[in-house]
Structure formats: C-alpha cells, structure tokens
Amino acid sequence: MRLWTVIADHLASPRPRKIFWQRHRRRFWVRPGRTASWWENFEQEMLLPEEWRNNFRMSRSSLLSLSDLLHPHIEGKSTVMRSLISGTKKVACMLYYLANEGRLRKTANAFGLSRQVVSKML
C-alpha cells in the first residue's frame, strides 16, 4: 500500500515538463565542399558542344531559348537565407535530372544544390 501512495504523490506533484523537441542551431546553411563548378564550366562555355548534348540532350542554344521561354513562370525570389537560383540553372537542372536516370543526389551535386531544392524545382 505504501508503494501506491508514493506513486500517487509523485504523479500528483507539479514538475517541469521535459521539452522533447528542442530547436538546434544549424551547423551550416550550405554543406562545405558542395560547389557548382561543374555547372559554372558549362555556363562559361569551357566545355565542348558535344558535352552539352550528352548531359542535357539538347544544344546550348536550345537550352537558353527554352529557359527564356519559361523564365516568367519559374522565376524565384532572393531571400536573406539563400541567393536566387537562375531560370537557366533551373531548366538545366530539370533536363539533367530527366537525362540521367532521375537521381536527385547526382543532380544536386552536379549543380551545387541540396536534394530538397532540386526536389522542389522538379
């Protein structure tokens, strides 16, 4: 009987509640080592036209005209947390994803983006 009174007293006494979901500070906003140098080389025309066709299944001029056509519909906004992703990069990212077996991680790493951002763009 004594055990039951101890348990009842313990349950009845007010005590601070534990917070199970604590907010943690982010270690980094952009993962170190993730670069967009592969895409920047394409953008600056440092690679051959055949590589454009192999990676995007279309020529550079076709990709740029498609990007210009879709620009009003896919234009984003720049925020305090992240910079704007260009419409050309979004279109290229989508085409690369479709041309390369639909792998988010591979696409994200090629363009220096996170998988979540690539998933939202698609």
pTM of the model: 0.67
Predicted confidence (pLDDT) per residue in 22-67, tens digit: 666 666 556 666 677 888 888 888 878 888 888 888 888 898 899 9
User: Would the pLDDT of 73 be above 70?
Assistant: yes
For 92-100, which contacts have Cβ atoms below 8 Å and span 24 or more sequence positions? 92/39, 92/42, 92/56, 92/63, 92/67, 93/118, 93/121, 94/121, 94/122, 95/56, 95/57, 95/58, 95/63, 96/55, 96/56, 97/122, 98/57, 99/55, 99/56, 99/57, 100/55
